[in-house]
Structure 1
Amino acid sequence: MKQLDDFYLKQEKPVKEIFLALKEIILKQDSNISNVLKYGMPFFCYKGKMFCYLWIHKKFNQPYLAIVEGKHFDEPFLIQENRSRMKIMLLNPDEDLPLEKIETILQKALNLYKTGIIKV
């Protein structure tokens, strides 16, 4: 757990604040969500299956929330780029987090797992 905590603590403001807020938002969506460090990134798993993760976009230098099964969604704020499965939601560090959008997409993604569309 120390490496995971260190990941959050070593981020610079405002990315650190965004990631810590997102961590709290994601974990409160369902008690079956856990936070682990995979590939050097904070991943969130639902019953052991990769669900979403946090990272910083290299080109735009902005933090983002990545939805592992993003290919199932058509929301205009989710970006596919060259990913076949995942989509990302860029977050502007100079603005408040779009809480409603974040929670809506997290719940939609959770429903994929809960309804069996994505096998857990």
Structure 2
Amino acid sequence: MEEAVRDASVRVAAQLGPLQRELSYSRALAAELRARGHVVSVEHPVPVSYVASDGFRVPIGTERADLVVDNKTVVEVKIGAALPAAAEIQAARYCATLGLNTGFVVAFSREGGAQTWRVR
């Protein structure tokens, strides 16, 4: 999966170039992964809950993972040349909540390239 995400990200970066919105990169990456035979969920819901002092778990909202690929892998898309620490934590949390073992952060740089990090 890592090679598929990395290769697709490079293709998206080359075609779209720099300074696109995060959503544009995310949708293009989803399209490229689908073209390579993967099943991709875009803005996949991630439930958020709170365990109250009485021990009961209360649903309090929903976050969205940028992409979930093949129901196995979370991919968070960011803009910037370096791995944002918060993005790494976010992707790992989404994996844990969804019961998935693999997560990646893809950062599309302002210069037009893409870097991929495995976070779980």
TM range (shorter): 0.3 to 0.5
TM-score, structure 1 length as denominator?
0.36
Greater strand fraction, Structure 1 or Structure 2: 2
Pick 1 or 2: higher relative contact order, CA cutoff 8 A, min separation 6.
Answer: 2
